[in-house]
Amino acid sequence: YVVLCAGLDVCFVGVPLDAGTSNRSGTRFGPRQIRSESCIIRHVNNATGAQPFDSIQVADVGDVWMNIYNLPEACKNIKDGFTKLMSTGCKTLAVGGDHTITWPILQAVKEKYGPVGLVHIDAHADTNEGLLGAPVNHGAPFRHAAVEGCLDCKRVVQIGLRGTGYAIEDYEWGKKQGFRIVQAHECWHKSLAPLMEEVREMMGDGPVYISFDIDGIDPAFAPGTGTPEIAGLTPIQALEIIRGCRGLNIVGGDLVEVSPPYDTTGNTALLAANLLFEMLCVFPGVKYADV
Amino acid sequence: YVVLCAGLDVCFVGVPLDAGTSNRSGTRFGPRQIRSESCIIRHVNNATGAQPFDSIQVADVGDVWMNIYNLPEACKNIKDGFTKLMSTGCKTLAVGGDHTITWPILQAVKEKYGPVGLVHIDAHADTNEGLLGAPVNHGAPFRHAAVEGCLDCKRVVQIGLRGTGYAIEDYEWGKKQGFRIVQAHECWHKSLAPLMEEVREMMGDGPVYISFDIDGIDPAFAPGTGTPEIAGLTPIQALEIIRGCRGLNIVGGDLVEVSPPYDTTGNTALLAANLLFEMLCVFPGVKYADV
Amino acid sequence: YVVLCAGLDVCFVGVPLDAGTSNRSGTRFGPRQIRSESCIIRHVNNATGAQPFDSIQVADVGDVWMNIYNLPEACKNIKDGFTKLMSTGCKTLAVGGDHTITWPILQAVKEKYGPVGLVHIDAHADTNEGLLGAPVNHGAPFRHAAVEGCLDCKRVVQIGLRGTGYAIEDYEWGKKQGFRIVQAHECWHKSLAPLMEEVREMMGDGPVYISFDIDGIDPAFAPGTGTPEIAGLTPIQALEIIRGCRGLNIVGGDLVEVSPPYDTTGNTALLAANLLFEMLCVFPGVKYADV
Amino acid sequence: YVVLCAGLDVCFVGVPLDAGTSNRSGTRFGPRQIRSESCIIRHVNNATGAQPFDSIQVADVGDVWMNIYNLPEACKNIKDGFTKLMSTGCKTLAVGGDHTITWPILQAVKEKYGPVGLVHIDAHADTNEGLLGAPVNHGAPFRHAAVEGCLDCKRVVQIGLRGTGYAIEDYEWGKKQGFRIVQAHECWHKSLAPLMEEVREMMGDGPVYISFDIDGIDPAFAPGTGTPEIAGLTPIQALEIIRGCRGLNIVGGDLVEVSPPYDTTGNTALLAANLLFEMLCVFPGVKYADV
Amino acid sequence: YVVLCAGLDVCFVGVPLDAGTSNRSGTRFGPRQIRSESCIIRHVNNATGAQPFDSIQVADVGDVWMNIYNLPEACKNIKDGFTKLMSTGCKTLAVGGDHTITWPILQAVKEKYGPVGLVHIDAHADTNEGLLGAPVNHGAPFRHAAVEGCLDCKRVVQIGLRGTGYAIEDYEWGKKQGFRIVQAHECWHKSLAPLMEEVREMMGDGPVYISFDIDGIDPAFAPGTGTPEIAGLTPIQALEIIRGCRGLNIVGGDLVEVSPPYDTTGNTALLAANLLFEMLCVFPGVKYADV
Amino acid sequence: YVVLCAGLDVCFVGVPLDAGTSNRSGTRFGPRQIRSESCIIRHVNNATGAQPFDSIQVADVGDVWMNIYNLPEACKNIKDGFTKLMSTGCKTLAVGGDHTITWPILQAVKEKYGPVGLVHIDAHADTNEGLLGAPVNHGAPFRHAAVEGCLDCKRVVQIGLRGTGYAIEDYEWGKKQGFRIVQAHECWHKSLAPLMEEVREMMGDGPVYISFDIDGIDPAFAPGTGTPEIAGLTPIQALEIIRGCRGLNIVGGDLVEVSPPYDTTGNTALLAANLLFEMLCVFPGVKYADV
């Protein structure tokens, strides 16, 4: 790993895990499919002028090793893998895999950068205590991360939450930690550029991690995912969020929950590839041309 | 049937008919697929605070019996089935099946509740005299229902109509009966909350039936249907319509025209399951938590 | 050809070519699939009152002949075919096929009508010098057309451009010719009716050609295409653009880049069939009822 | 109709009906899909030397008209349509649609040719008294045809029957009429050429009708059908059966039960197109080259 | 569980687990999909005369509870669940789920019946020591079962093994235990009825368990599975194997590895439903009519 | 290229071309999809004992460069690329791409090895003079190769030919050159091991090239291809053919015509990956364990 990342500013790394999934599985092939569809991502960002590949050193370093047959152990493997990747100073853009992976990644991030602010786009808060009696799964990463001090809870924003819930208190736990929650219906029919002004203010200069669950986006645009919820964000709003992170002190990010078996046209993976490119564009050090 | 509904306030009932379909068939498997996808519908409505399962007695009572090889006879079977289901005071949420089924259901509704107001979401007015010389099919239910006095025509609103037509007078028949028609292009780029204020006023305290044809929604969000029309409503607008019915005297409803063979990802059925849950949330007697 | 078009005002003509495609192929079956799905296009336009089939003579004249194994030669075949079709005064609505076809069509248009104004809806500018060293392909038609004088460059508008680019100067060449470029992000969250007022002014009374690449529309609505780009136009905006062309001196048009193998539900072809109907509705001579 | 068939020896005619289907619907698009896939059927039969298009006059005359919303009436429409088609002496190759259609076609055949011998390939005997209380549907055509005297019951062979049954007596009714039943497991692991020798003997010089239900073939080869049954015939055996009919006095035939929504690759329709071509090759009057 | 099984001879029970899968996931929805497609399984076996539902008491008792986020724990849950189901004397037909489940089921079987003979149909021996360092997964159940004494190793036959291997010794471990291994290429081009005569002799009167991995069958017939291997058994041979078990002292069975996301037509689930019916037909106590 | 192949005995090389396709396109993604599905190809051949990766040096060297927008030029590019790859003594296993590619590959083979014997598995003879007036396309490679002296025509065997033809003389041209043609119907119901004994005799010690068009195999097993023909070979027979080449002086091979858009389950690519592995196993120098 260390060799792989030598001299890199940012690396893409696949985490092909779906053992933490609650409904439809298949995210284990997310990294493979997103790589395939990334073949039409070109060099520059015509809308913003960002030129990431002319500014910083970037590479895809392959997949992290893990024991996919034992979820708690896989989490340890992921944490170890990311710790090594980050040890050279390289920042990571993880390609999931289900959302379970963000917990061990944030453990590694904390060791390197301390507690981080979080821009979290998702249909679900993912702050359950557990599911079916198991503490570790894709519905719980931010609970564990917050409890373990990986998050600077006053600098956490969750955008796009919606859908039916297990209990009317589903979002309360996060609010008590200080999370700002922006439900999907607060985003309907409007640009999220104003929201991102507030988010930038909230984040300040501290380190920030972006966790993008593709199910934050409406299933019309992102059908290939395991727990889709109706009436979600649009790709337009997703771009407003990510582009709105420009200038923040981004220390890492992930794009999770793309499930290729349910992505019948490949377009969810294509969307994910574009979002990952846009996330790359807002990493520190990326230069922008005037447009 | 009577036994099945004893003690229930609202029941879901499948009507797996596609013999009335004009273009792509397949709605006969709508109930089965919607039930499958409903597995991720949870208990409460996080956005509105509705807690239907803690408020009223609800069950899925299976499918109504009918002779699917003889459409006119199937209509009689449906009418008889719903009459029995309603005889205990249980209200019905029908899961289609093609839109033909709403005609016999409204016959049963009329016997129990008299002429009803109608909130009808659809791409098509469904007020043809018939198709190919046949009076009974999925393009005609509201014509028959109106003629037979099942509808309180001054309290009928049709939302989302659009697409090419057989004749320039396609919507005129309904208007003459007093229907309010809100074409899709009148809904573009905006919230339907204001419209629903007017609809609530229009409906008053009288009994109201909700008939939701999934093709009212744009085919990007609801591809799995037989006669899709472009530039339709969004799921966001669908939620605004249904949530806007809160407080009305809802006596029944249906969700029709989901065709699983054309629903390649299952997400049309998932959307339908959510819309049925949202319809359940606005039935009289459902309690709301503060949110 | 001449016999086929005798007495026609407008003809639909298929151009089943995909040899110019850069990413996913399959547009060779675009004409066949669009014809199949056109079976639910009815006679009149309920929203606008247009009655094309009661106003002008229209027919589908089949496919143009071409050598699909030699792209430069195929372009010659297309130019010859369209020249003959237009020789009777019949205007053409071409059904692609990939966007390469617009170059030879515009050559034929120029011979008949001189340089034309262009309403071009697309995710891509299609003004590359070439790809992989080949000058002729689906990324270059408007470069060749402009250079050859087929376009009245001051009356060219390109709407919906977006996505990653080969270089930060991708759109500059067109701007230098005088093209007006409206990037997709300039269209987000709003109606395009105001834009079309400006476009009508820009076009004046001169001849206008409409070239509609289905990838101008967001892949949620039009998944069945070869180089989809996220965060695009909506079918609503597409209708605003096309209906906004009413009154212009339309001399021809095309709808390209529908790729059936990636159109898993048939709904991209259905969208294309509707857009072609709407384009037909704005040809000179079509009568409108009051609506 | 009469004009359409003037001078033809054999015509293909579509019967897009699926109202008689018991499980998965969708056969209404069988004719359309089979026509699409027939585009790679070429002129001659390389294996047998048959040159049908150089021997007899053949055309596709389109679809028969029928009221698809009333199954009993649709049957009358079909019978009337085929009677007219046959009135010129033209023989018909019907393209279904579900198997219900063979009953009214055989009524028309009887009027023209008297009771016919039958080569029937199918997974099901289709000799039920009815289903769900309805006498007319796709599980009953040969019962009705036999009762009405359309069949010369001593010259009926049913090949490929298999699957679970409603009762242990399912095949008894046919046997009592004199039908020869060849269950699928009698065909396993072997060529059907010897069987066809017996069939040719059985049929003699009398008129023979071929009814080919695509579900006679194993679902691996023909997934796109409504009531697939495992462990069926192979396309190789299908060719042995059809080619084994060479020399018989074929007076008509059909290919039914292709359901495009379940034919995800188009290959069931492609198989059907080939089988129809092979059936055409064994009509009287077709010449064979030496091969 | 005990209540559920009271009075039953055989029960179907779902085990929706895919956490043990090595390649494509998705078997968690196997039980749901197989139940859906089982709707066209009728009452009797026309080929063999078996009338299971008229002979013994059979029911579907739903799914076993398990913690799907912890594979070792899930195995304990499965063992406990099956132990309870069997405690009433009811025999089980498990519907997977991935092949991991057979290990805990065999643990429960051993407690009830002692070491059992095994008829195992599969593309893989599933006798690895483990994968990726994890002992428990779908490549290892029969290794664990043998080591723990659940199997009477001299009465174990594995049919259909094939494909590439990790090492040339892959099948050696089983052979050393006394397993009889019948590789797929030994089955090519022939009936397996003779093999089953030998198997019946081998099994004698002792208790026998049937474990059917759907990937034993060629992917043309069973595409919907996670680790397909080419050149496999046919459904015809599968029927020969299962029907060849008639007369044995069957004490339980399973059908595993159906993965609905890869079963694009539903026909793998349909095949599985038929195989489960056929397995039911060979349980002790089932009566046969003469056919 | 030379660097890539230094020290290699055999390399896999992708040729992502579909510009020569006559019916359904999409083979340009064949190499990508086959690589994806090859992830479950393991190290050894359990059936034959072959251990290729322990015997010879093998690598995947990526794709050959070509101008996909100009078919004649692309052929030159392919010839040049393969010439360079072979210059180090490395043999090539090409992964198509449509069958056009075999012509330029055979040109490069001839330069290195002289005229070669050919084992050609295909549904089509591919010896047309051309199509639509174009000499170069996927229906003509063996005509050109023979005319140019790339083939030792007395040592050419074509296996699996079938389907409808343009003319009764379709296979005559090859026969006149001395090709042995084994039509598919000559292969029905039997093992091809005896045929391969004859083929080995025919090939002797001279250099042999294997060209495997996936459409040689029946579309049930290989649906993902552009010009499928019914009643073809089975994967079992394919293995018999390839394994039957053991001992021959193989100097190169290809696997062509996998079209991922039509390979809805990925299993055609999986079959192709396995066939390529089996072809690798019969290259000179591969060692076999006793099995």
Other CB atoms within 10 Å distance of the CB of residue A84: 16
* Facing residue for F191 by CB, picked from E164, E189, E218: E189
* F45·E220 Cβ contact <8 A: no
Quote the CA–CA distance of E235 and A287 in Å, as a whole number: 61
* B32·E32 Cβ contact <8 A: no
Quote the CA–CA distance of F3 and F9 in Å, as a whole number: 13
Task: Name the residue type at position A32.
Answer: R
pLDDT of amino acid F5 = 81
pLDDT of amino acid C263 = 97
Which chain C residues are within 8 Å of B229, Cβ to Cβ? 274
Which chain E residues are within 8 Å of D162, Cβ to Cβ? 46-47
How distant is the alpha carbon of residue D178 from its chain centre? 20
CA distance C38 to chain D (A): 13
A32 in contact with F at a CB cutoff of 8 Å?
yes
Inside any domain, residue C156:
yes
- The residues, any chain, with a CB within 8 Å of residue A234's CB and separated by 6 or more, are A217, A218, A221, C231
Inside any domain, residue D218:
yes
F32 in contact with A at a CB cutoff of 8 Å?
yes
| Residue keyed to tokens 């063999």 | E48
Whether the per-residue pLDDT at D275 is higher than 80: the answer is yes
DSSP code at position C234: -
* Facing residue for D261 by CB, picked from B26, B132, B136: B26
C26 in contact with F at a CB cutoff of 8 Å?
yes
Q: Name the residue in chain F with its Cα closest to that of A32.
A: F36
pLDDT of amino acid D291 = 81
Q: Kind of pairing, strands D44-45 and F164-165?
A: antiparallel
Question: How many residues are given for chain F?
Answer: 291
| Residue A120 CA: distances (Å) to CA of A26, A124, A211, C164, F60 | 22, 10, 5, 24, 40
pLDDT in tens, C204-259: 999 999 999 999 999 999 999 999 999 999 999 999 999 999 999 999 999 999 99
pLDDT in tens, E158-192: 999 999 999 988 899 999 999 999 999 999 999 99
Which chain C residues are within 8 Å of D36, Cβ to Cβ? 32, 36
Number of domains within chain E: 1
Which chain A residues are within 8 Å of F32, Cβ to Cβ? 36
Which chain B residues are within 8 Å of E36, Cβ to Cβ? 32, 36
Residue D216 structural domain? 2-281
Q: Is B170 annotated as a binding residue?
A: no
Q: What is the CATH number of the domain that holds E172?
A: 3.40.800.10
Which chain C residues are within 8 Å of A274, Cβ to Cβ? 163-164, 229-230
CA distance D125 to chain C (A): 34
- The residues, any chain, with a CB within 8 Å of residue F222's CB and separated by 6 or more, are F214, F215, F228, F258, F268, F271, F272
pLDDT in tens, B234-268: 999 999 999 999 999 999 999 999 999 999 999 99
Whether the per-residue pLDDT at C4 is higher than 80: the answer is no
DSSP code at position A53: G
| Partners of residue F151 on adjacent β-strands | F116
pLDDT in tens, E86-121: 999 999 999 999 999 999 999 999 999 999 999 999
Inside any domain, residue D22:
yes
pLDDT in tens, C127-171: 998 888 889 999 999 999 999 999 999 999 999 999 999 998 889
pLDDT in tens, C8-64: 999 999 999 999 999 999 999 999 999 999 999 999 999 999 999 999 999 999 999
Whether the per-residue pLDDT at B132 is higher than 90: the answer is no
* A136·E69 Cβ contact <8 A: yes
Quote the CA–CA distance of F113 and F115 in Å, as a whole number: 7
Whether the per-residue pLDDT at F69 is higher than 90: the answer is yes
Q: Kind of pairing, strands E164-165 and F44-45?
A: antiparallel
Which chain B residues are within 8 Å of E266, Cβ to Cβ? none
Q: Is E144 annotated as a binding residue?
A: no
Least confident stretch, B144-158, E163-177, F147-161: E163-177
E209 in contact with F at a CB cutoff of 8 Å?
no
Binding region of F for Mn(2+): 99, 122, 124, 126, 213, 215
- Say whether A260 sits in a helix, a strand or coil: helix
The answer to whether the beta carbons of residues E108 and E83 sit under 8 Å apart is yes
Q: Is B63 annotated as a binding residue?
A: no
CA distance B133 to chain D (A): 7
Whether the per-residue pLDDT at D104 is higher than 80: the answer is yes
Inside any domain, residue A270:
yes
How many residue contacts between A and B have a Cβ separation below 8 Å?
84
Task: Name the residue type at position F132.
Answer: L
Inside any domain, residue A116:
yes
Q: What is the dihedral of CA E227, E233, E234, E240, to 10 degrees?
A: -130
pLDDT in tens, D26-40: 999 999 999 999 999
Quote the CA–CA distance of A47 and E102 in Å, as a whole number: 55
Inside any domain, residue C173:
no
Closest by CA to E276, choosing from E34, E103, E109, E98, is: E34
pLDDT in tens, A54-90: 999 999 999 999 999 999 999 999 999 999 999 999 9
pLDDT of amino acid E4 = 76
Inside any domain, residue D286:
no
* F43·E189 Cβ contact <8 A: no
Percent of chain C with pLDDT over 70: 99
E230 in contact with F at a CB cutoff of 8 Å?
yes
Per-residue burial over A232-259, b if 16 or more Cβ lie within 10 Å, else e, is bbbbbbbbbbbbbbbebbbbbbbbbbbb
* B262·D262 Cβ contact <8 A: no
Which chain C residues are within 8 Å of F24, Cβ to Cβ? 26, 29, 261
C36 in contact with D at a CB cutoff of 8 Å?
yes
pLDDT in tens, A241-279: 999 999 999 999 999 999 999 999 999 999 999 999 999
Whether the per-residue pLDDT at A142 is higher than 90: the answer is yes
H-assigned helices in C2-90: 2-5, 30-37, 71-86
The answer to whether the beta carbons of residues E93 and E254 sit under 8 Å apart is yes
A167 in contact with B at a CB cutoff of 8 Å?
yes
* Facing residue for F236 by CB, picked from E168, E231, E264: E231
User: What value, to the nearest 5°, has the Cα angle with vertex F146 and ends F145 and F150?
Assistant: 60
pLDDT in tens, E244-273: 999 999 999 999 999 999 999 999 999 999
F67 in contact with D at a CB cutoff of 8 Å?
no
pLDDT of amino acid F2 = 66
Quote the CA–CA distance of D29 and D258 in Å, as a whole number: 8
pLDDT confidence band for B2 (50 / 70 / 90): low
pLDDT in tens, C176-197: 999 999 999 999 999 999 999 9
- Subunits with at least 3 CB pairs below 8 A relative to chain A? B, C, E, F
| Residue D10 CA: distances (Å) to CA of A41, A204, D5, D65, D250 | 54, 80, 8, 19, 11
Sheet holding D91-96, edge to edge: D58-63, D10-15, D91-96, D249-256, D207-213, D116-121, D151-161, D180-183
* F168·D235 Cβ contact <8 A: no
- Subunits with at least 3 CB pairs below 8 A relative to chain C? A, B, D, F
Quote the CA–CA distance of F55 and B83 in Å, as a whole number: 77
Interface test with C, best of B132, B158, B168 (most C CBs within 10 A): B168
pLDDT confidence band for A6 (50 / 70 / 90): confident
What are φ and ψ of residue B220, in 5° steps? -65, -35
Query: Are E and D close enough to touch, i.e. 3+ CB pairs under 8 angstroms?
Result: yes
Mean pLDDT value across residues F228-246:
98
Inside any domain, residue D239:
yes
Q: Is B144 annotated as a binding residue?
A: no
DSSP code at position C120: E
Q: Taking each helix axis from N to C terminus, what angle separates E30-37 and E267-281, rounded to the nearest 10 degrees?
A: 80
pLDDT of amino acid B34 = 98
* Facing residue for A165 by CB, picked from B42, B220, B265: B42
Q: Tokens for D144?
A: 């009705």
What are φ and ψ of residue F66, in 5° steps? -160, 160
The per-residue pLDDT of chain A, averaged, comes to 96
pLDDT of amino acid D2 = 66
The answer to whether the beta carbons of residues C111 and C75 sit under 8 Å apart is no
Binding region of D for Mn(2+): 99, 122, 124, 126, 213, 215
Report F:235-264 residues touching D (Cβ under 8 A).
262-264
pLDDT of amino acid F291 = 82
Q: Kind of pairing, strands A44-45 and C164-165?
A: antiparallel
The per-residue pLDDT of chain F, averaged, comes to 96
Whether the per-residue pLDDT at F42 is higher than 80: the answer is yes
The per-residue pLDDT of chain D, averaged, comes to 96
Question: How high is the ipTM of this complex?
Answer: 0.96
Peptide bond into C97 cis (omega under 30): yes
3-class secondary structure per residue, B23-79 = CCCCHHHHHHHHHHHHHHCCCEECCCCECHHHCCCEEEEEECCCCCCCHHHHHHHHH
Query: Are F and B close enough to touch, i.e. 3+ CB pairs under 8 angstroms?
Result: no
Could you please report the per-residue DSSP string of chain D?
Answer: -HHHHTT-SEEEEEE---TT-SSS--GGGHHHHHHHHGGG--SEETTT-B-GGGTS-EEEEEEPP--TT-HHHHHHHHHHHHHHHHTTT-EEEEEES-GGGHHHHHHHHHHHH-SEEEEEE-SS----S-BTTBS-STT-HHHHHHHTT-EEEEEEEEEEE-SEESSTTTTHHHHHHT-EEEEGGGTTTS-SHHHHHHHHHHHTTSEEEEEEEGGGB-TTT--SSSS--SS-B-HHHHHHHHHTTTTSEEEEEEEE---GGG-TTSHHHHHHHHHHHHHHHTSTT--B---
pLDDT of amino acid D5 = 82
Helices (H), strands (E): how many in chain C? 9, 10
pLDDT of amino acid B48 = 96
Q: Tokens for C51?
A: 């009655």
pLDDT confidence band for E2 (50 / 70 / 90): low
Which chain C residues are within 8 Å of F101, Cβ to Cβ? none
Quote the CA–CA distance of B211 and B251 in Å, as a whole number: 11
B55 in contact with A at a CB cutoff of 8 Å?
no
- The residues, any chain, with a CB within 8 Å of residue B273's CB and separated by 6 or more, are B34, B35, B37, B38, B41
Q: Tokens for D219?
A: 């679902």
pLDDT of amino acid C170 = 87
Could you please report the per-residue DSSP string of A67-136?
Answer: -TT-HHHHHHHHHHHHHHHHTTT-EEEEEES-GGGHHHHHHHHHHHH-SEEEEEE-SS----S-BTTBS-
Q: Is the dihedral of CA D254, D260, D265, D266 positive or negative?
A: positive
Interface test with A, best of B46, B221, B290 (most A CBs within 10 A): B46
Whether the per-residue pLDDT at A122 is higher than 70: the answer is yes
* Facing residue for A132 by CB, picked from E28, E67, E261: E67
| Partners of residue F15 on adjacent β-strands | F96
DSSP code at position E46: T
Which chain C residues are within 8 Å of D32, Cβ to Cβ? 36
pLDDT in tens, A156-206: 999 999 999 999 888 999 999 999 999 999 999 999 999 999 999 999 999
Task: Name the residue type at position B67.
Answer: N
* Facing residue for B70 by CB, picked from D29, D68, D134: D134
Which chain A residues are within 8 Å of C23, Cβ to Cβ? 39-40
Whether the per-residue pLDDT at C264 is higher than 90: the answer is yes
Q: Name the residue in chain D with its Cα closest to that of C36.
A: D32
